[in-house]
Structure 1
Amino acid sequence: MNEICVIGGSRYFGRRLVENLRDHGARVTVVNRGSSAPPEGVTHLRADRGDEEGMRLALAGRTFDAVVDQVCYTPGHAAVARRVFEGRTRRYVMTSTVEVYADLGGGGPYREDALDLTAGTIRADPPPSGELTYGEGKRLAEAVLARPAEFVFASVRTAHVLGGDDFTGRLEHYVRRVDAGLPVGICADPRPASFIEEREIAAFLAWAALGDFGGPVNACSHGTLDVRRLCEAIGRPLYTRGESPYSFERDYTMDNGRATALGFTFSDVGDWLPGVVEEARACV
């Protein structure tokens, strides 16, 4: 039986990941600050992932086949993880993001090798963690964990996740406005993006935890969306010039060829988008 540690995992697709691993026979240990109760049938350890000594105390005497880090946002987080988990796991999977490609310029679909995790593309003098953008924090965290270590490191660069349980309210924003006949703000030339449904990314992360590959891997459903197509899947939108969560001025599309070649079968955006819209509508 596989021993899997999930750091975070308290909500949204992180919680689905924990349930997925548990339901497929893994012994799951969740490490977080305890803001919400974990699913039944898993071990829960309370610790702040940025507190190195607290993490060591919580994990004392425990080893794992794999770790899935859902909440690694900065190089500081990554450095603590390296020190705490070296010698404690054979595999370390970090949930990263399409945002790591945000500053590359040009257009997608981006392949994993578009980003070089060396000093050539990662800032040598990054600002303090509190001043990092989300994408830069993730890039720097990947760079720290990608250095040679006793464990195999894989970074899952997930597309924008859509799901009815999205606590950020981004999809609900569109459902509320379209259903109410209110205009939706979009930029002058909305660019396409890759997306993935919450159950699919949870399944992908579980698959990655149990795999043996290393390095970065893109996770996205086949097909792309822009803000107009997303709104049209909801109803009859009215548009105005402005900002909204998925109105992007840059291309956020990814190539999922590596993950497909490794054996994961992705769905198509069109397969799940109508159902996700209805789930979000039920939450409004």
Structure 2
Amino acid sequence: MREICVIGGNRYFGKRLIARLTAAGDRVTVINRGSSAPPAGTIHLIADRNDENSLDKALGSRTFDVVVDQVCYTPRQAEIARRVFAGRTRRYVMTSTVEVYEYEDTADPVGEDAVDPRTVAVDLGLPWDDAEFLDAHYGEGKRQAEAVFAADPGFPYVAVRVAHVLGGDDDFTGRLEHYADRIRSGATIAVPPVNHSATYIHVEEIADFLFWTVGEDFTGPVNAASHGPLTTRELCEAITAHLPYGKAVLGAVEAGEVSPFSFSRSYAMDNSRAAALGFPFGDARAWLPRAVAETLGKGG
């Protein structure tokens, strides 16, 4: 029986990961602030991961085979986690994001080497506790958090750089609903003048990927994305097929806010490292209609 710790993970693909772990016979400890109960069959520890003493006290003498950190957003959080879990786990898996590549200006799918966390500067003095700042610097927060883990060669970590996630009837982001509302009414969907594609992953596939990662022994950054980038137009076509009385009207805007999943630069990731390690990714175009139906419901 493996001892697995999951920090966060009460919703979306986190809860799916926990379900896979418990079904496999792993003993799963879930750490959160106590605002919501963890999935059944887990051990629940209440702690504030931003408070080193709180986290250390809650853990006591517990050790783990693998820790999966679903809610590490800043280098400060990473610093605390690295200190607290040093010597407590054989491997630390951080859920990162495609947004770490936000400064990579290329149309080609981006590989992990494009952002080497060992070369990323860390600034703990930035206002990481300010919600507005953190929201505006989401990619930078993740990039610097990766850098904190990478700085210690004696701390075996994995940074799973997750593509944009779609699917499930519990997608809390409202991004597909944004499109559905406009398609139902025929309202214009704002996109950049040059609208680039991005890579995606289904909610069940990223749960599968994290579960698979727990059982492997590789370290460092790894991209997690289904095969085949999708454009905003392809997303709209899939939603329109689900809403036959709607109409997708895309309109380019030179300035101002654009719709989610529309990008002025490419967000395509190269998934060849994970594929070579043995994970069988699906094709985004194959699962996209199912993802739309799951999120919008049978009636649209």
TM-score normalised by length of structure 1: 0.95
Structure 2 equivalent of residue 248 of structure 1: 263
Distance 2:117 2:39 in 1: 35
Whether 2:123 is the aligned partner of 1:127: answer no
2:274, 2:224 → 1: CA distance?
A: 7
**Correspondence for 1:188:** 193
SS in 1 for 2:297: helix
Shift of 1:24: 1.5
Give unmatched runs, 5+ long, in structure 1: none
Alignment partner, residue 20 of structure 1: 20
Paired residue type of 2:63: T
Shift of 1:148: 2.4
1:260 corresponding residue in structure 2: 275
Given the superposition, is the C-alpha separation of residues 123 and 28 from structure 1 closer, same or farther in structure 2, using an over 3 Å criterion? closer
Size of the aligned set, in residue pairs, is 283
- The residue that corresponds to 2:147 in the other structure is 143
C-alpha distance in structure 1 between counterparts of 2:59 and 2:125, whole Å:
30
Cα distance in structure 2, aligned partners of 1:179 and 1:279: 17
**Superposition deviation, residue 126 in structure 1:** 6.5
Partner of 1:3: 3
Shift of 1:123: 5.8
Name which of 163, 166, 177 aligns with 1:172.
177
Q: Deviations over 1:98-122 (max 9, x none)?
A: 1001012233300001112244x43
Deviation at 1:42, TM superposition (A): 0.8
Q: Give the root-mean-square deviation of aligned CA atoms.
A: 1.6
Asked if residue 278 in structure 1 is aligned to residue 293 in structure 2, the reply is: yes
Contact 1:97 1:157 in 2 (8 A): yes
Alignment partner, residue 243 of structure 2: none
Q: Quick check: 1:86–1:149 contact (8 Å CA) kept in 2?
A: no
| 1:40-119 superposed matches below 5 A | 40-119=40-119
Deviates more, 1:106-115 or 1:210-219: 106-115
Q: Would the aligned equivalents of 2:122 and 2:148 in 1 still touch at CA under 8 Å? A: no
Secondary structure, aligned partner of 1:225: coil
Q: Which runs of 5+ in 2 are unaligned?
A: 241-246
Contact 2:167 2:203 in 1 (8 A): yes
Matched residue, 2:158 = 154
State the shift of 1:35 in Å: 2.2
Answer yes or no: is the 8 Å Cα contact 2:149–2:155 preserved in 1: no
Q: How many angstroms apart in 2 are the aligned matches of 1:117 and 1:150? A: 15
Q: Deviations along 1:27-67, whole A, 9 cap, x unmatched?
A: 11110112222111111111111111110111102110000
Cα pair 1:196 1:269 within 8 Å, conserved = yes
8 A contact 2:75–2:124 mirrored in 1: no
CA contact (8 A) 2:122 2:147 kept: no
Q: Is the CA contact 1:175–1:280 (under 8 Å) kept in the aligned structure 2?
A: no
Deviation at 1:124, TM superposition (A): 5.8
CA contact (8 A) 2:118 2:151 kept: no
Which residue does the alignment assign to 1:208? 213
Which amino acid counterpart does residue 278 of structure 1 have in structure 2? A
- Does residue 1:269 correspond to 2:273, yes or no? no
